[in-house]
Structure 1
Amino acid sequence: MPLSFHKMHANGDDFVIVDARNASNPVTSSLARRMGDRNRGVGFNQLAVILDCDDADARLIFWNADGSALDACGSATRGAADRLMRESRVTSIVLRTNRGLLTCERTSAGTISVNMGAPLFDWSEIPLVREMDTAVLPLAGDPAACSMGNPHCTYFVDDVAAVDIATIGPTLETNPLFPLATNVHFVQVIDRKHIRLRIWERGGGIPLGSGSCCCGAAVNGIRRGLLDNSVAVECDGGTVTVQWDGAGSVVLTGPVETSFSGVIPDSQLRAF
């Protein structure tokens, strides 16, 4: 069968939604990799597949553009929630991901808010290669680490514009300390309610934004005592809000938009 998809973005952080409810999941690692190719495919940072679910409105699974799977994607979760809420004409739904059940809501301003679950700090949950203090890693620059369903490593710098992310990002992503590799953040604290964030994304390069990275960066800043519990996170593509009380779940709020919809015909799918 032809494959229908929707290309969306959250402040320029682009992703593709494939709705596979009432059908078998058509997306494989190789198909995700081919669709993610910006020269020969659709192009995206992440892909989310919407599946049927017994205990939630739907289930989501995620792929990176390189064909690797991931457990969390704040931008694509908000995009899927936006589509499903419009379809059902509701302002709140519950989605299941590998992070558990996530409640999503449409705010009065029209943005989408998602409860991303509680951050993880134990070295084995991130994961790291051995036991250590995850608030201050034994790396130059003293970064902090956490997991939002995927690994995050946060550096606090004086000026993000001075960081050569394209050069140092790949090295940090694959540092032996992280057996599953890691997302890398570079955070400049503007004030206690506002940070400037640039990202090297695991399996993706330098995105205009990333929902889970915004959460991880804000969480690490709050646990360091640098930030208040509600933070405006300014990425290259725009700003989202991250709220965390220091103990419970992280709430991510920001805009999503549909760029276009399309169909990949059978002949191309067979070629893929």
Structure 2
Amino acid sequence: MKLYVMNGAGNRFAIFDARGSRFRMSPDMAVKTGARGGPLGDKGADQIIVLHDPLPGSDAQIFMDIWNNDGGHVDACGNASRCAAWLLMRESGGDNALIQTAIGVLHATRKGELSIAVDMGKPRLGWEDIPLSEAMHTHHIDVKVGPIDNPVLSNPGAVNMGNPHCVFFVDDVMATDIERLGPMLEFYPLFPQQANIGFAQIIADDHIRLRVWERGAGLTLACGTGACAAVVAGVRQHRLSRLCRVDVDGGRLDIHWRGSDDHVIMTGPIELEHEGEMPL
């Protein structure tokens, strides 16, 4: 079985090519594979990806199974989709790829030798779609940190990009104690399935600096669905334009929330760090 170690703007993945086999990932195996200092070295992996044959009747080339490094099974990962798409394009020699996930089929396009765009579909914005534990408008949700009359953080937006996101807009993202706030907010009672917590600093109406505490993975160098969610949340709060540059710890992503069809397009770099084989 082929094993690839790749990253998308720093978001690091172990990608197993299990097509044609009966291999299935398990929570324990995902934890051991992704562990810092484990088989992938000091960096470990943020997510573990398994490429399976597509389900019957699908036009997609693969089905992508996604695991966090805490053993949790999730439905979406934008940067992993871009990495998997690049592998498929290298294999086919083409400039397009169709990837089946638990949330549907994603279309990816080559934008450069090591740059891939993926159509992440429409954001889900209803409170029950995030999901939240109680009904409310999601352009601002009732989550505060600190004193009620003078909170440190407040008025985040909630967006589902295949997984739940809560996005706070802050004055200085590097001065925000994400490693303390992230775990607390990830398990906030309003999020029955936990949530990815984004912290976005607005540089201009088309440019933000973003860091994301990912549920089940912690603070990562990039989060593709988090970048999409931050731009959607910013547009809904009249802070950002629909075409936005997002600087993350590992590089740059470009997000376009198209007005024509409501789809979110994410474009960014990928890197192949290692490829090898391992016995099934």
TM-score, normalised to structure 1's length? 0.93
Q: What is residue 135 of structure 1 aligned with on the other side?
A: 139
The answer for the alignment partner of 1:52 in structure 2 is 53
Work out whether 1:207 is the aligned partner of 2:220.
Answer: yes
Backbone CA RMSD of aligned residues? 1.4
Equivalent residue for 2:8?
Answer: 10
- 1:1-272 alignment, distance < 5 Å: 3-42=1-40, 43-53=44-54, 54=56, 55=58, 56-108=60-112, 110-140=114-144, 141-246=154-259, 248-265=262-279
Which position in structure 1 is the counterpart of 2:147?
Answer: none
Q: Tell me the distance in 2 between the aligned counterparts of 1:112 and 1:99.
A: 20
Structure 2, unpaired ranges of 5+: 145-153
Task: Please give the secondary structure, in 2, of the residue aligned with 1:208.
Answer: coil
User: Structure 2 CA distance, aligned partners of 1:48 and 1:160?
Assistant: 29
Q: In 2 relative to 1, CA 58–47 (structure 1 residues): closer, same or farther, beyond 3 Å?
A: same
Q: Match of 2:66, SS?
A: strand
Residues 62-112 of structure 1 show CA distances to partners (whole Å, capped at 9, x for unaligned) of: 000001011000111100100011001000111111121110010146410
State the distance in 2 between where 1:108 and 1:81 align: 13
SS at match of 2:219: coil
4+ runs deviating over 6 angstroms: none
Q: What is the CA–CA distance in structure 1 between the aligned matches of 2:238 and 2:131, rounded to whole Å?
A: 23
Q: Distance in 1 between matches of 2:26 and 2:203?
A: 42
> What's the CA shift string for 1:182-210, capped at 9, x where partnerless?
00011111001100001111111111111
For 2:237, the aligned partner's letter is R
Amino acid across the alignment from 2:263: S
* Percent of matched pairs sharing the same residue: 40
Shift of 1:265: 4.9
Instruction: Give me the TM-score of the superposition, normalised by structure 2.
Output: 0.91
Q: Quick check: 1:99–1:117 contact (8 Å CA) kept in 2?
A: no
Aligned residues: 264
1:269 maps to which residue?
A: none
Q: Would you say the 8 A contact 2:114–2:271 is kept in 1?
A: no
The answer to whether the Cα contact below 8 Å between 2:5 and 2:13 also exists between their aligned partners in 1 is yes
- Tell which deviates more after alignment, 227-236 or 33-42: 33-42
